[in-house]
Amino acid sequence: GAVVSQHPSWVICKSGTSVKIECRSLDFQATTMFWYRQFPKQSLMLMATSNEGSKATYEQGVEKDKFLINHASLTLSTLTVTSAHPEDSSFYICSARERDYYNEQFFGPGTRLTVL
Amino acid sequence: AQSVAQPEDQVNVAEGNPLTVKCTYSVSGNPYLFWYVQYPNRGLQFLLKYITGDNLVKGSYGFEAEFNKSQTSFHLKKPSALVSDSALYFCAVSEGQGAQKLVFGQGTRLTINP
């Protein structure tokens, strides 16, 4: 149980285009989902926290207009990187917290974004 | 604000020997502590957590960690290392009730030599 999937697993896009990444909780209801980014050989940095049905809370320094987060249902959150640039190239990881088991976050496998 | 330090960027251990990956933390309240492992181009896999109770926590794949409040440490240990344990290990802390905002250490690359 407690499986989180991400789609796509990797994506290559041209500079200026937008990319959408999906995060799904497959066998539980996720009231809260988290989005992280990880640069090569670095740790995970929390970008934003999204609660189902409400606006995401962004960490300091993260542009909310560039990284659009939608958490429309208890099993799906999406991260859209708008007008992507090469510096947005990174590994994006989502995690989800279950409604009734809030002491743990379950992580997705990650999405590798490369912007040319 | 909470913080986590993993003082070693890399740890090398011979197969069959015990291993330790160090982690210290700083929080103003009660800590929720976690260890995760990451294989190349993969997400994080949960190993173990400390919420409350016994200071020695046993987790997946034979790993365990000891919570030491006086030293604010939560070192990861395994009695006998396997080559397949080679990976990137992250310690994380969440302050207060529930796995809210997780703050991660910088990671320790563990290499087990055959």
Would you write out chain A's pLDDT as a tens digit for each of its 116 residues?
A: 688 999 999 999 999 999 999 999 998 888 899 999 998 878 889 999 998 888 899 999 999 999 999 988 899 999 999 999 999 999 999 999 887 666 778 899 999 999 99
Q: Report the pLDDT value the prediction gives residue B63, as an integer from 0 to 100.
A: 97
Output the CA–CA distances (angstroms, integers) from residue A41 to A107, A111, B10, B85, in the order listed. 18, 16, 12, 18
B-facing residues of A in 63-92 (CB < 8 A) are 91
β B64-68/B73-78 pair status: antiparallel
Task: For residue B102, list chain A residues with Cβ-Cβ distance below 8 A.
Answer: 34, 46, 95, 105
Query: Whose CA is closest to A62, among A37, A28, A89?
Result: A37
Instruction: Determine, for residues A46 and B42 on separate chains, whether the beta-carbon distance falls below 8 Å.
Output: no
Instruction: Determine, for residues A103 and B99 on separate chains, whether the beta-carbon distance falls below 8 Å.
Output: yes
The answer to whether the beta carbons of residues A43 and A98 sit under 8 Å apart is no
Q: Report the pLDDT value the prediction gives residue A40, as an integer from 0 to 100.
A: 80
Lowest pLDDT segment from A28-42, A67-81, B45-59, B96-110: B96-110
